[in-house]
Structure 1
Amino acid sequence: MAYGKRTMFTVINAIITALIIESQCRLHHLVLKDDIRQRVHLNTFGFYKEGYMNLSMNSLSFPVGWKMDSIDSSTIGFTLDRANSNGFSTYLDEGLDVCPLKKDPKTFAGVLLLMDFKNNIVRKKTSTEAGVFPTIHVPMLPKKSTEEIQNEEGKDVASNEASESKESKSKQESDEKKAEDTFTLQKREQFYSFQFYFNITSVEQQGLYNFYFYNCYSLSKKPGSSISDMLPFSIDINIEEKNPDSFLSAGEIPLPKLYICMSIFFFLIGILWVYVLRTHSADVYKIHWLMAALPFTKSLSLIFHAIDYYYISNQGFPIEGWAVVYYITHLLKGALLFITIALIGTGWAFVKHILSDKDKKIFMIVIPLQVLANVAYIIIESTEEGSSEYGLWMEILFLVDLLCCGAILFPVVWSIRHLQEASATDGKAAINLAQLKLFRHYYVMIVCYIYFTRIIASLIKVIVPFQWKWLFQLMNELATLTFFFLTGHKFRPASYNPYLLLSVEEEDMEMDDV
């Protein structure tokens, strides 16, 4: 048995370590092969003044034999924009029906980097308003002037009407010269590469920036099909983002200190609970000691999470050992939380000492779902946002977490129904009504906790400015701390607690029978 447990722990440790190695956290490295998505969300990051971003597209390739000259220069490229506080780009409201690369950059604060594979250049288009967006720089690459590009394009135009239209637009092009520039797109065999960086040089440029890659080029429709296929592409990208004193985004910089402070509060709550158990040892049940383990596990998880963020803040990537320990404690904390809530709801060790078949089925559902939810969380934390599996695991986490939250309510509902029926049939109406009131309060507590941590806290994250994103974690931790305290207060070991009255009275009746 011990060997089996040790083997399982080793397997879990190896999986978590492998996931961490794949991700470089704030030093991003994304590799996509034969991807057909139209939009790839590379990253979202909050910058303070003197922060910077450095991107290196190591390679971009398409299927062998594909004629790159046939690809329009406004169908494949990057977009970099300053988003609203909710992290969504203003130009994404129209969906994917309109390719953002074809939009006018004056309509939003951002930059379009359009790849022209025919001339091996990258066209930069940005808002002409000065100071609203950082300047894009390309290191150590020769830059073509606008006149040279116009001459190259003029070789393919022979009509007099085209030349007259160029003359009529000369003034407009001179006015927009600052907003549009071109850089060299390097090519080696069938692989293209490009590199750029920018610095946040003023307070006006601070904000939450989104970085996307777009592939809006559609292949011709297949016979008998109404949907056109996307052109497959393979890409290898390195992204480095940093604020003046931290690799963390602006809204994440306070998190290490926040997690340390909250871990102290959870540890104190655990100490207080152990003191209560020692003081009322005659009324203590097994479930009370299980409840005691929860705040200490939560405190350890927060400490390791703070250490993990500390190393990411200083060097851009986590220390594998600390990250593994955090993920293990996070998994244990999540499973222990839902198991404890469900056991209290069934009345185990208080009202009854054996779980019914319905209760056992709930645990057979909740425990695997909670393990799956924690595995999904670990994979999401260890996977780049632009990878194809990131969105899938986000949906799995949302669905599984929703199922877990719904499943733990069933034991409480069953207990309430049982007490309602018992209060009308047996002679213990007063006791049953007191327990019924307690269970109803507990049901409301669980619903409020789930509603606040899953909905209200998320709304706060959307509403607040980018540098206050840490309030989302603060609200979550305060809600969890309040829930722990109220649960302990409601079900504390005391002879007058209505939750214990039925159990105590049954023991007295057994003694009278003897």
Structure 2
Amino acid sequence: MAVPHIQFSFAAILLLVLLSGCNARIHKLSLKNETRFAVDLNNFGFFANGTLNVSLSSLWLSDIVNYSIYPVGFSLSRSRVNGVLSYTAEETEVCPLTVTKTTNDEPLILFLIDSKNLGVNVSAMGVQDNFLIAKAKSDKPKEKKVTKRADGNGESENANGKPSNTDPKQDDGKEKEEPAANENPNPAGEAKKVEEAKKVEETTFLLNSSVKPILALDKTNGLYNFSFLLVVGPKDQGLYSLKFHYCQNRVPGVKKPYALTVDVVEKNPGESYLSAAEIPLSRLYICMAGVFFTAAMVWVYMLMKHRYSVFKIHWLMAALAFTKSTSLVFHSINYHFINIEGHPIEGWAVMYYITHLLKGALLFITLALIGTGWAFVKYILSDKEKKIFMIVIPLQVLANVAYIIIESTEEGSSEYYLWKEILFLVDLICCGAILFPVVWSIRHLQEASSTDGKAAMNLEKLKLFRHYYVMIVCYIYFTRIIAILLKITMPFQWQWCYEFLVEVSTLIFFVLTGYKFRPASNNPYLQLPLDEEDVEMDEVVTESGALEGISKVKKTSNGRERQKEPAL
């Protein structure tokens, strides 16, 4: 059976294109002509003293909005469990920015953009001890002008209302020589001064229900921008969801466009860019890679020990185990660099995605071949079985490409949810299709056990295939449904256990599959009929891996032997 190398090559090229714009945990999202009423920017698990830095720039609104009627802005809420927000658990139609109080003590922070008065009204609800660091709005003209100069926006005015960057020709000779000496200023030093000036202007607010700070909203060339830094308090650590809302677009028939660019940088204590649930993943993946590599070496030892009972598919199973181990190694390296750099290193990320593609394809190919009995009892696939391979393998490649696109796409983009739905649907189809070869083998053995006189042997094989079918079903249900249900009920810092359960269940499935179809003379899956007279002309069987490709001989009634051509 030919493996579609063209599809793998196309996927590898696609990886390079996608990863070139991937920022991972340092997020930058740009939206143009957007009409969604809510944009999910990110979900992140914060430990105590974790920081959320949000910088909104180039916000364009089609008209000036009244924030008291149809507010525009951000909501930052803590989830009780993963994916279930505290303030949206029951409502579906009300804009979250219009919420005036929460039904529980979960912290909720709203940033309402007042484009008319150039301010951002902050409303904090629930019990919380978070700190907000941002530039407060000031009505004093002097402070506005100093802020403009500190931001490096060109000319600024001094306290007397005169331009501060006067023509040096109007000064005396000493003043004229000074610009020449500083003709090439130090950019790093100037940037440091600007940052220090910004910090001086920033104010720290302890958020609670009684504090209603108003942040400064700058407007340049019709575009709004502001920024804030949130420090998570010791009592408020948890999984937070950041969203942007344009509430007027919730009205039926209203689709007002807007555009924005937002930068989000999230950190946990220790300069870690990973969410609380992702911090242990690098160590988990490298440990599981060692376990899978050990299991692969044990499997190879068994194949060498029973070399006369080894088939090609046994080596394919070994290749799958080694590919799985290699994929986990690159996955661990990928998370390590995201943790310390905030983004993946493209070379390591590409290697991980390539091995991830190969592992996914090899897994479903191996499961389908075992289910059809290929190499163990026959070398020719039926037309129905060939169609399964023609469907499953391309779908698996598509599912893995969808996974790569999801990993490389910002959560706030509209394409993110499209590819997420594609991934879920394709993965579900592949899991269902992989069961058909096993079902066909079970039906064939049921019919054979009652007609050809080899009932005992066929019943043993039938029992084995039924066990294998149950194993596949349990593996699919656990990794696709049960493990996800466990994930959303776990505390935010323990959600890495979902990945641990998936990897352990995969290891158990590999071990049980290897044990069931191990190369051994007493394996009922590999046993042959005892009576050669019962062997059909068109039935192709093998006694051991050493005799692959050689057919059994049919004895005729007159004692002559007719040699059958090897089935390839």
The TM-score bracket by the shorter chain reads 0.7 to 0.9
Q: Is the 8 A contact 2:131 2:233 kept in 1?
A: no
- Could you tell me how far apart the structure 1 residues matched to 2:8 and 2:465 are? 37
The answer for the alignment partner of 1:172 in structure 2 is none
The answer for the alignment partner of 1:341 in structure 2 is 367
1:179 is displaced (CA, Å) by 3.1
1:372 aligns with 2:409: no
1:456 is displaced (CA, Å) by 1.1
Candidates 494, 510, 513, aligned match of 2:552: 510
1:486 aligns with 2:512: yes
- Could you tell me how far apart the structure 1 residues matched to 2:388 and 2:282 are? 36
1:260 aligns with 2:310: no
The answer for the alignment partner of 1:26 in structure 2 is 25
Q: Comparing 45-54 with 306-315, which one deviates more in the overlay?
A: 45-54
- Could you tell me how far apart the structure 1 residues matched to 2:98 and 2:115 are? 16
Candidates 412, 417, 422, aligned match of 1:386: 412
- Could you tell me how far apart the structure 2 residues matched to 1:258 and 1:452 are? 19
1:286 aligned partner, one-letter code: K
Q: Comparing 101-110 with 79-88, which one deviates more in the overlay?
A: 101-110
1:198 aligned partner, one-letter code: L
- Could you tell me how far apart the structure 1 residues matched to 2:326 and 2:133 are? 44
Q: Computing the radius of gyration over CA atoms, which structure comes out larger, 1 or 2?
A: 2
- Could you tell me how far apart the structure 2 residues matched to 1:490 and 1:270 are? 16
Deviations, residues 366-422 of structure 1 (Å, cap 9, x unaligned): 001100000000001111100000000110000000000000000000000000000
Q: TM-score, normalised by structure 1?
A: 0.87
The answer for the alignment partner of 2:261 in structure 1 is 236
Report the 3-state secondary structure (helix = DSSP H, G, I; strand = E; otherwise coil) of the residue aligned with 1:81: strand
Which segments of 5 or more consecutive residues in structure 2 lack a partner in the other structure?
141-207, 533-540, 544-550, 556-560, 562-568
- Could you tell me how far apart the structure 1 residues matched to 2:110 and 2:379 are? 66
Q: Is the 8 A contact 1:79 1:101 kept in 2?
A: yes
1:206 aligns with 2:237: yes
Q: Is the 8 A contact 2:130 2:230 kept in 1?
A: yes
Candidates 66, 91, 97, aligned match of 2:93: 97
Candidates 446, 464, 481, aligned match of 1:420: 446
Candidates 494, 497, 504, aligned match of 1:471: 497
Q: Is the 8 A contact 2:289 2:324 kept in 1?
A: yes
Deviations, residues 192-245 of structure 1 (Å, cap 9, x unaligned): 11100111242x12111110101111498xxxxxx4122111110100000112
1:54 is displaced (CA, Å) by 0.4
2:37 aligned partner, one-letter code: Q
- Could you tell me how far apart the structure 1 residues matched to 2:248 and 2:287 are? 50
The answer for the alignment partner of 1:190 in structure 2 is 222
The answer for the alignment partner of 2:155 in structure 1 is none
- Could you tell me how far apart the structure 2 residues matched to 1:385 and 1:409 are? 33
The answer for the alignment partner of 1:38 in structure 2 is 37
The answer for the alignment partner of 1:331 in structure 2 is 357
Candidates 340, 358, 361, aligned match of 2:384: 358
Which runs of 4 or more aligned residues in structure 1 lie more than 6 Å from their structure 2 counterparts after TM superposition?
A: 7-10
1:13 is displaced (CA, Å) by 3.6
Deviations, residues 133-156 of structure 1 (Å, cap 9, x unaligned): 4122214x54469xxxxxxxxxxx
Over aligned residue pairs, what C-alpha RMSD do you find?
A: 2.1
The answer for the alignment partner of 2:196 in structure 1 is none
Distance 1:363-1:14 versus aligned 2 partners, 3 A rule: closer
Deviations, residues 275-315 of structure 1 (Å, cap 9, x unaligned): 11111111111111101101100000000000000000011
Q: Is the 8 A contact 1:46 1:209 kept in 2?
A: yes
Report the 3-state secondary structure (helix = DSSP H, G, I; strand = E; otherwise coil) of the residue aligned with 1:251: coil
Candidates 57, 72, 75, aligned match of 1:76: 72
Distance 1:128-1:70 versus aligned 2 partners, 3 A rule: closer
- Could you tell me how far apart the structure 2 residues matched to 1:510 and 1:9 are? 38
1:188 is displaced (CA, Å) by 1.1
**In percent, how many aligned pairs have the same letter?**
54
The answer for the alignment partner of 2:337 in structure 1 is 311
The answer for the alignment partner of 1:88 in structure 2 is 84
1:307 aligned partner, one-letter code: I
- Could you tell me how far apart the structure 2 residues matched to 1:414 and 1:189 are? 68
Report matched runs for 1:62-73 at 5 Å. 62-63=61-62, 66=63, 68-69=64-65, 72=68
Q: Is the 8 A contact 1:111 1:124 kept in 2?
A: yes
The answer for the alignment partner of 1:53 in structure 2 is 52
- Could you tell me how far apart the structure 1 residues matched to 2:442 and 2:9 are? 42
Report the 3-state secondary structure (helix = DSSP H, G, I; strand = E; otherwise coil) of the residue aligned with 2:422: helix
- Could you tell me how far apart the structure 1 residues matched to 2:436 and 2:8 are? 31
- Could you tell me how far apart the structure 2 residues matched to 1:340 and 1:478 are? 19
Deviations, residues 422-475 of structure 1 (Å, cap 9, x unaligned): 001001111110000000000000000000001111011111100011100000
- Could you tell me how far apart the structure 2 residues matched to 1:69 and 1:51 are? 33
1:318 is displaced (CA, Å) by 0.6
1:15 aligns with 2:14: yes
The answer for the alignment partner of 1:164 in structure 2 is none
Q: Comparing 435-444 with 96-105, which one deviates more in the overlay?
A: 96-105
Deviations, residues 322-355 of structure 1 (Å, cap 9, x unaligned): 0000000000000000010000000001111110
Report the 3-state secondary structure (helix = DSSP H, G, I; strand = E; otherwise coil) of the residue aligned with 1:93: coil
Bigger helix fraction: 1
Which segments of 5 or more consecutive residues in structure 1 lack a partner in the other structure?
146-175, 221-226
Q: Is the 8 A contact 2:8 2:397 kept in 1?
A: no
2:79 aligned partner, one-letter code: A
